[in-house]
Amino acid sequence: MVKTYDYIIELKQKSFELIDNISKLMLVLALAAFAFVIYNTLALHNTQLKTSDVVLIIIISIGMIGWWLYCNYRIKMNQIPYYRFALMFAAWGWFVIPEGKWTAIVYIIACFLEKPVKVYPEVAFDAEEIVFNSFPKKRFVWKDVQNVVLKDGLLTIDLKNNQLIQKAVDATVSKDVEQEFNQFCLEQLANTK
């Protein structure tokens, strides 16, 4: 069951460039390794792999390149690219190579972590807690919070353990909504005392 919150504040979008570059680097390394294995098997007549395995690696490489091109199309359409299917193809290719089992596990982990790491930064508030939409999720109950203020496009959360969290808000918030939100937070803080 999906929980509903009283307020959800969208924060400024962070860049996913580092995550995308790591994914691309992993794909380039996999394609280079697969090309080396194909060359080693076909041109040098190394019998490490069967011909059917070489054909499978070629198909996997084409699938990786195709998904990468699709991700580039998504970037041109101003959408977030997810390289996870190309990473999954790469993991499959690593499993075909006899010495690639451990490397395949790394690619599977990257495949499953890419989407949760690329989440829109939001902070949700209700009468029970404050939740940051991040990986991993951060949750704070109101009894651990000293103060919460939304002012001039900046969300400030002061925790009782002397931790201060300040985040820029994505959209312009009207003074009425700011005042309503701040009043809600004051009520939640008063209820914990």
Shared domain for 23 and 112, answered yes or no, is yes
In a domain, 170, yes or no: yes
Same domain, 105 and 58: yes
| Position 22 confidence tier, pLDDT thresholds 50, 70, 90 | very high
Interval 138-180: pLDDT, tens: 888 889 888 899 888 888 888 889 888 888 888 777 788 888 8
Cβ atoms of 140 and 134 within 8 Å: the answer is: no
For residue 75, what pLDDT is reported?
92
pLDDT tens across 27-67, in order? 999 999 999 988 888 877 766 778 888 899 999 999 999 99
In a domain, 3, yes or no: no
The last residue of a domain, from among 86, 117, 148: 117
Q: What percent of the chain has pLDDT above 90?
A: 36
Which positions ≥6 away from 94 have C-beta within 8 Å?
A: 30, 33, 100, 101, 103, 104, 107
Residue pair 171/10 in contact (Cβ under 8 Å)? The answer is yes
For helices 17-42 and 84-96, the axis angle rounded to 10 degrees is: 30
| 112 and 125 housed in the same domain | no
For 166, other C-beta atoms within 10 Å of its C-beta total 10
* pLDDT score, position 59: 96
Where does a domain end: 117, 151, 178?
117
Q: What range defines the domain where residue 35 resides? A: 17-117
* Same-domain status, 102 and 129: no
Q: How many domains does the chain have?
A: 2
